[in-house]
Amino acid sequence: TKIKKWKGYAFDYERSKKLVFTLKEPPNSSCSVRNSSIRISTETTARSSNFEVKGYFPDKDCIIVDPSGNIVAQIGVKKEIEDLMESKDLYHIVVKPGIDQAFIAVVIATLDYIYGEYTRCWSIRIFTN
């Protein structure tokens, strides 16, 4: 089976692109399977790091862990927040201090697209703790 990949690029003022990250579906898996994890390779000048999305994104119940296994971001909906949310287009994200919030937001936007949520208007509120 072919492994699915999604790539994220940064563009500079000259419109040249630089690969920033790649999300990879695990072999012999599917994004629609609960408890499968998705690998995120970040491209840096020194080396590449592998993050992982664990959990099930469509239920907004997943975490992003760094190469050491530390949770760097949590995507979820607490019951009291869920009751207030009128739209399923909102994400409650908690990002650990020192983690690039823009990177986490782009990963979530990519996952949103992969899973077909594909919101036209994005509203992200990121909490740090």
Question: How do residues 13-46 score in pLDDT, each as one tens digit?
Answer: 787 888 888 877 765 544 445 556 676 777 654 5
SS3 content of the chain, % helix, strand, coil (to 5): 20, 40, 40
Nearest to 22 by CA among 5, 44, 10, 36: 5
* Alpha-carbon torsion, ordered 64, 69, 72, 75, to 10 deg: 30
Q: List, in sequence order, every residue forming a beta bridge with 48; answer none if it has no partner.
A: 43
Q: Which of residues 17 and 98 earns the better pLDDT score? A: 98
In terms of pTM, does the model score above 0.75?
A: no
Give the confidence band of 2 by pLDDT, cuts at 50, 70, 90: low
Give the confidence band of 82 by pLDDT, cuts at 50, 70, 90: low
- Does pLDDT of 84 surpass 80? no
